[in-house]
Amino acid sequence: MTRTLGATDITPKIRVAVAVFLTTLSKEGRLRYGTVARAKQLFRLSRSSIQGIWALRDGPEALVQPRKPYSQRATRLSPDEVAARVAAVPLCQRQTLRALEAASGIPKSTLQRHLKNKVLRRFICRVKPTLSDAHKLQRLTWALAHVERPIGKIFVIFR
What pLDDT digit, counting tens, does each position of 35-45 carry?
Answer: 999 999 999 89
Structural domain including 106 reads 79-116
Beta-sheet pairing, 147-148 with 157-158: antiparallel
Nearest to 39 by CA among 27, 26, 58: 26
User: Does 49 reside within a domain?
Assistant: yes
> How long a stretch of residues is the chain?
159
Residue 3, pLDDT score: 56
Total tally of structural domains belonging to the chain: 2
Domain co-membership, 58 together with 84: no
Share above pLDDT 70 across residues of the chain, in percent, rounded to a whole number: 90
> Which has the minimum average pLDDT: 1-5, 28-32, 47-51?
1-5
Residue 2 has pLDDT above 60, yes or no: no
Domain co-membership, 60 together with 84: no
User: Does 70 reside within a domain?
Assistant: no
19, 59, 125, 126 from 82: Cα distances, Å: 49, 46, 22, 25
